[in-house]
Structure 1
Amino acid sequence: MTTLQPPIEQVWEIDRAVDDLVRGEAAWAACGLAKRRELIERVHAATAEQAEAWVRAAAAYKRLPEGSPLLGEEWITGPYPVLTSAGTLASTIGALEAGRSPVDGFSVRPAPGGRVAVRVLPHSVWDRLLLSGFSAEVWMRPGVTKRAVRSRAGLGQRRPTLTGGVGVVLGAGNITSIPVLDVLYELYAHNRVVALKLNPVTDGLFEVFSRVLAPLIDIGAVRILTGGADVGRYLVHHPKVGHVHMTGSAATHDAIVFGTGEEGAARKKAGTPLLDKPVTSELGGVSPTIVVPGAWSEADLRYQAEHIATQKLHNGGYNCVASQVVVVGSDWPQKDRFLAHVRRALSEAPARPAYYPGSDGRVEGAVASYAGAERIGGGRVLIEGLDAADPGPALTSEYFAPVLAVLEIPGDAGTFLTEAVRAANERFAGTLGVNLIAHPRTIARLGSSLDDAIADLRYGTVALNAWTGVGYLTAAATWGAFPGHTLDDVQSGIGVVHNALLLDAPERTVVRGPFRPAPRSVLHGELALSPKPPWFVDNRTAATTGRRLVDFAAAPRWSALPGIFASALRG
């Protein structure tokens, strides 16, 4: 393993930043709940002020042209979730200030397997209007009672003077809200002051992030650093740093925790980490989308194919939870027609640059692995005909690129679902997110067996007729791998983030959405008024809708709704 250190000027800068945080920990400990609520409210206001600059900076490094509908992705996954998370955190702190539980006012119900579930979406009237037909629950770990949920919610803010030292956040380079959300979670959930090391591809956001986090920087609770791997290595091994949180791949995690090359592999095998401090992580994996057989209309086939294209191509395919394998029924009479629609949706999705480092090489590696790999155009690849007995690397290697594979499993809806769940749990790398798509009539026929399937899936977010990305965008939901992973078998990571209710011992988030967009949903009896969601890659008004959603999240008000609805309906 290389032991190169940063240039001495950067070493001094890192040391100064860490020393500032050591002093800042005392200042953070002295902040009572009212002050902490005021600080997160100021972060909310700063995010609103910086939203335009934030999106411009993100578009610059992702090389998105001015006026592109794809800019909607940057509005909706950049400032928007930071605004909603900051608002929810402020409400959580306010509840604790008033001597209440943050969960007061949220529905808590029994869930399968001795669990309880906290309904976090919809919660407000705004949720019911803006996300009609969508819902999300946080399922707690088995044995956690309703009383425990209410009494333990608040995490580090229940005893704010007991701080957790200096933590490092190694920022993500793909979704621009991740670094800021991770900083907020370290501070408010774990009471750790934070050194944020930016991924080099996001260096253009340094000024924006500095202004957004300025209230926390000013009291010494946050410092932001830039630089390459040498800076990150020096920082995480700094003797005054007590904890590391990272977002990335399992391979990057192992390089940080165990080192690289033969020595790193030997340390991993022996269970002797090179990094001698706790590490939490949100990592990627191979996210499946399980398409349950049913009798679909042509419009259903087309819409759900566009849904899958979004799950794959959102942000160019550079998402930890991007769908990589579509699991379909080999006996489904509509399989071929559906896959034809998937191929069309992939080919017709807007072209975009491969901005993330190494993407082209990963695409070429996928093509080299499969003789039947089909180049769709725009750098996209579709791989059909995986051998169920030996499907190859598509199930075990995260491509983090616009590559989509198809795995076929036989059986009617019930048999197929059982086998698909088994495959997802036992054969796919990672546990971050899994998507299920099923017709409402099929859902009704499956009954409790579908609920059992959701409970059996060992994933941190399970989405039925929605993309797991909706869970990412839901401030009060949890985001992270299924619990139980270890440093030497990290899969999709350890711990959770987001979780703005500060719930203790969550297991997963379960998201549900409408099978059809409005107005077809209404015509078929679904209680959902949402049109095609603005995060769909072929949504023509995504940029306008995204901008208006950010403006609304900055200052929720009735007068803003007509403009949002009008833009969304044109999408």
Structure 2
Amino acid sequence: MDSTALDQAISELSTAKQRWAGLPIADRLDYLSRIRTLLAGRSEAWIALAAKAKGLRQDSPLLNEEWLGGPYAVLTWINAITETLQAIDAGTDPLRGSKVSERADGQTVVRVAPHDFNEWLLLNGFSTEVWMEPGVTAANVRDHIGSAYRTPRSTGQVALVLGAGNVSSIAPLDLLYKLYADNEVVVCKLNPVNDYLGPTFEEIFAPLIEDGFLRFVYGGADVGEYLCTHPSVDSIHVTGSERTHDAIVYGAGPEAGDRRERDERVNTKPVSAELGGVGPTIVVPGPWSKADIEFQAEHIATQKLQNSGFNCIASQVLVLPEGWEHTEALIAAVRTALDRAEQRPAYYPGADDRRQGAADAYPQAEALAGNRTLVTGVDATDPKAYAFTNEFFAPVLATTTLPAESAAEFLELAVTFANERLHGTLGANILVHPRTIRELGPKLDDAAAALRYGTVAINAWTAVGYLSPRATWGAFPGHTPDDVQSGIGVVHNALLFDRPQKTVVRGPFTPFPRSISAGELAMSPRPPWFVTNKTALVTAERLTQFAVDGKVRRLPGILMSAMRG
């Protein structure tokens, strides 16, 4: 798009920004209702486009990723934010149905999932909590919800959203968050990697576009640069790389690094960002069986291979206990799972170069089937290890080991390692046997508290947090533009928390029915997001249909498909 068209889009938004800022909640809810209806009618077209672009056959179980990470994620967020806004408008409790508690150290915890019986049934054994920043108490947490509605700005603003090219729901969720949480109209520049979805998005969001509150624009880095410096753009949100963030804030060219060192910003607009990083999966030693090893190997392979590895929270470093009797068996099982998973193209630009970078850094790198790479034995004591400081953003997994005499000692060492050696703070995973959980007692929660990550998943993958609409999504708070790592601020957050610190997800260590014999009260089978789940596509489609209308008659079909997975 040329500058004239971009200026026109910004001018139209500037004209409408004050109207949006003063729009009653009832009218905002009407837009959400109309968008939900349009999305339901265009979701199949959305998926067909994504399948073609990513080289997936139309009946591949892997298409569940496009349903869950596309229409489903947007629909569930719309449903959740609708409930929140209805409560704010009626003056009732937005946290109705959410348990509020405090940890022993006083930190306030809000359980945001399961939110109702349907969530409890469909994701049985999974739960999600949002942990608040210090100073937020169980008594005042409701005072820290929805500041844009308690104390709205007196003037409207225009936000620029720079969409991501990997997961198709990111741009829609980010623009909705700017509209409904930050109270700003939006110009959304789609990433050239997935801007093929632009016409479909324009159809889905037509009500907002027609009334001047949203514009989609297209183009490369030059368009993004023009919009970032446009005098009528008040704020910027970017999902992408740390390099992109720094180019926005500190400019390009050889002097950009020096400007960053001096924190000399060429762009002083507020910039929020979600930027990925090096995600760990910590394996706590315990009495794992052969079945446990095989299931968790599938879990780890999923954390790496989902979306062909092009996820900001793809597991990158598998942190294992040195000397544990099952370490080598688990590595072997992970190797097999990576090797056998359905092949797919590495569709995201630059993947081959990033894989080669890992291979160049590690002579022991193993080329597996298709485009996958496994790097074992990375030295945990090397603070500048390539695998610890560079996000692969490709189907490449590394392993490292830490010595410890006990599970508690290993967990403490692993937390320190993740916090101090790995670049980024977006998401961390912990895999731990139920018996070990009981032995650890409060030390497991203390480890979750100590991990400086925006989402911590215990016996789950942090992507569950991404799909939990009432959870927060973003880096651990405290980053600054000159050391941004995984970003600044949060999105999703359908309960509109003003001061969240992190999201903590918990899941069952074993699938049903083995979960019962393991002492876990969970009926979840192999999750539908697993790359090994053969009925995942059907389950994901049915979950999306349920998100559209909430009809109870759909539940048996969802559960039957899930159990066959």
**Shorter-chain-normalised TM-score: which range?**
over 0.9
- Mapped contact 1:289–1:437 kept (Cα < 8 A): yes
Could you tell me how far apart the structure 1 residues matched to 2:226 and 2:244 are?
Answer: 15
Instruction: Give the one of 120, 132, 146 matched to 2:124.
Output: 132
Instruction: Give the one of 429, 440, 448 matched to 1:446.
Output: 440
Q: Return the offset for 1:24.
A: 1.2
Identify the residue that residue 87 of structure 1 maps to in structure 2. 79
Q: Which amino acid aligns with 1:491?
A: Q
**Secondary structure of the equivalent of 1:534?**
coil
Identify the residue that residue 547 of structure 2 maps to in structure 1. 553
Could you tell me how far apart the structure 1 residues matched to 2:205 and 2:151 are?
Answer: 23
Could you tell me how far apart the structure 1 residues matched to 2:153 and 2:474 are?
Answer: 27
Q: Return the offset for 1:161.
A: 6.3
Could you tell me how far apart the structure 2 residues matched to 1:496 and 1:526 are?
Answer: 32
**Secondary structure of the equivalent of 1:146?**
coil
- Mapped contact 2:18–2:157 kept (Cα < 8 A): no
**Secondary structure of the equivalent of 2:2?**
helix
Could you tell me how far apart the structure 2 residues matched to 1:41 and 1:137 are?
Answer: 27
Instruction: Give the one of 395, 399, 411 matched to 2:388.
Output: 395
Q: Which amino acid aligns with 1:116?
A: T
Q: Kindly provide the CA deviation profile for residues 282-324 of structure 1, in whole angstroms up to 9, marking residues without a partner as x.
A: 1110000000000111100000010000000000000000000
**Secondary structure of the equivalent of 1:53?**
helix
**Secondary structure of the equivalent of 2:61?**
coil
Q: Which amino acid aligns with 2:526?
A: K
Identify the residue that residue 399 of structure 2 maps to in structure 1. 406
**Aligned: 1:172 with 2:168:** no
Identify the residue that residue 18 of structure 1 maps to in structure 2. 10
Structure 1 window deviating more from structure 2 (199-208 vs 37-46): it is 37-46
Q: Which amino acid aligns with 1:520?
A: R
Could you tell me how far apart the structure 1 residues matched to 2:27 and 2:200 are?
Answer: 23
Structure 1 window deviating more from structure 2 (147-156 vs 244-253): it is 147-156
**Aligned: 1:43 with 2:53:** no
Identify the residue that residue 251 of structure 1 maps to in structure 2. 243
Q: Which amino acid aligns with 2:492?
A: H
Structure 1 window deviating more from structure 2 (157-166 vs 261-270): it is 157-166
Shift of the 538–163 alpha-carbon distance from structure 1 to 2, 3 Å rule, reads farther
Q: Which amino acid aligns with 2:532?
A: D
Identify the residue that residue 186 of structure 1 maps to in structure 2. 178
Identify the residue that residue 187 of structure 2 maps to in structure 1. 195
Could you tell me how far apart the structure 2 residues matched to 1:113 and 1:47 are?
Answer: 44
Alignment of 1:128-167 (within 5 A): 128-160=120-152, 162-167=154-159
Give 5+ residue unaligned stretches, structure 1.
1-8
Identify the residue that residue 515 of structure 1 maps to in structure 2. 509
Alignment of 1:52-71 (within 5 A): 52-71=44-63
Q: Kindly provide the CA deviation profile for residues 255-307 of structure 1, in whole angstroms up to 9, marking residues without a partner as x.
A: 22112231111111111112121100011100000000001111000000100
Could you tell me how far apart the structure 1 residues matched to 2:234 and 2:248 are?
Answer: 15
Shift of the 112–426 alpha-carbon distance from structure 1 to 2, 3 Å rule, reads farther
Q: Return the offset for 1:523.
A: 3.1
**Secondary structure of the equivalent of 2:115?**
coil
Same amino acid, percent of matched pairs: 54
**Aligned: 1:75 with 2:63:** no
Q: Return the offset for 1:160.
A: 4.8
Identify the residue that residue 366 of structure 1 maps to in structure 2. 358
**Aligned: 1:530 with 2:524:** yes
Could you tell me how far apart the structure 1 residues matched to 2:338 and 2:254 are?
Answer: 40
Shift of the 279–22 alpha-carbon distance from structure 1 to 2, 3 Å rule, reads same
**Aligned: 1:298 with 2:299:** no
Instruction: Give the one of 482, 498, 509 matched to 1:504.
Output: 498
Could you tell me how far apart the structure 1 residues matched to 2:401 and 2:207 are?
Answer: 52
Structure 1 window deviating more from structure 2 (219-228 vs 388-397): it is 388-397
Could you tell me how far apart the structure 1 residues matched to 2:379 and 2:111 are?
Answer: 40
Could you tell me how far apart the structure 2 residues matched to 1:64 and 1:357 are?
Answer: 17
Alignment of 1:268-283 (within 5 A): 268-283=260-275
Alignment of 1:348-387 (within 5 A): 348-387=340-379
**Secondary structure of the equivalent of 1:350?**
coil
Identify the residue that residue 6 of structure 1 maps to in structure 2. none
Q: Return the offset for 1:151.
A: 2.2
- Mapped contact 1:287–1:430 kept (Cα < 8 A): yes
Matched pairs, number: 563
Q: Which amino acid aligns with 2:35?
A: V
- Mapped contact 2:144–2:499 kept (Cα < 8 A): no
Identify the residue that residue 480 of structure 1 maps to in structure 2. 474
Give 5+ residue unaligned stretches, structure 2.
none
**Aligned: 1:427 with 2:437:** no
Q: Return the offset for 1:163.
A: 4.9
- Mapped contact 1:29–1:163 kept (Cα < 8 A): yes
**Aligned: 1:341 with 2:339:** no
Q: Which amino acid aligns with 1:308?
A: I
Q: Return the offset for 1:522.
A: 2.1
**Secondary structure of the equivalent of 1:246?**
strand
Could you tell me how far apart the structure 1 residues matched to 2:211 and 2:308 are?
Answer: 38
- Mapped contact 2:459–2:509 kept (Cα < 8 A): yes
Q: Which amino acid aligns with 2:473?
A: W
Could you tell me how far apart the structure 1 residues matched to 2:333 and 2:435 are?
Answer: 22
Q: Which amino acid aligns with 1:414?
A: A
Identify the residue that residue 231 of structure 2 maps to in structure 1. 239
Q: Structure 2 length as normaliser, TM-score? A: 0.98
Structure 1 window deviating more from structure 2 (127-136 vs 39-48): it is 39-48
Q: Kindly provide the CA deviation profile for residues 479-508 of structure 1, in whole angstroms up to 9, marking residues without a partner as x.
A: 000000000000100000000010110000
Identify the residue that residue 3 of structure 1 maps to in structure 2. none
- Mapped contact 1:432–1:460 kept (Cα < 8 A): yes
Identify the residue that residue 205 of structure 2 maps to in structure 1. 213
Q: Kindly provide the CA deviation profile for residues 431-466 of structure 1, in whole angstroms up to 9, marking residues without a partner as x.
A: 000000000000100111111111100000000000
Instruction: Give the one of 99, 110, 115 matched to 1:107.
Output: 99
Q: Kindly provide the CA deviation profile for residues 217-236 of structure 1, in whole angstroms up to 9, marking residues without a partner as x.
A: 12211100011110010011
Q: Return the offset for 1:105.
A: 3.1
Could you tell me how far apart the structure 2 residues matched to 1:286 and 1:324 are?
Answer: 6
Could you tell me how far apart the structure 1 residues matched to 2:329 and 2:21 are?
Answer: 60
- Mapped contact 2:133–2:501 kept (Cα < 8 A): yes
Could you tell me how far apart the structure 2 residues matched to 1:547 and 1:105 are?
Answer: 27
Q: Structure 1 length as normaliser, TM-score? A: 0.97
Q: Which amino acid aligns with 1:433?
A: G
Q: Return the offset for 1:112.
A: 4.7
Instruction: Give the one of 457, 463, 469 matched to 1:469.
Output: 463
Q: Return the offset for 1:114.
A: 2.4
